[in-house]
Amino acid sequence: MFDSILSFLLSSASVDFFVGFLLGLAVASIICYKILTDRAKVQEESLKEKDRLLHDKEKEYQKLLNEKERLRLDEIKAKNEEIKELKAEINYLHKDLARHNMQESFVNVFGSEK
Q: Between residues 44 and 101, which one has the greater pLDDT? A: 44
Question: Which own/partner contact pairs does 25-33 have at CB distance under 8 Å and 24+ positions apart?
Answer: none
Asked if 103 and 113 touch (Cβ cutoff 8 Å), the reply is yes
Question: What does each C-alpha distance from 27 to 17, 33, 48, 57, 99 come to in angstroms?
Answer: 15, 10, 31, 45, 107
One-letter amino acid for residue 65 of the chain: L
| pLDDT cut 90: percent of the chain above it | 57
List, for residues 29-61, the tens digit of each pLDDT value: 999 999 999 999 999 999 999 999 999 999 999
Residues in the chain, how many? 114
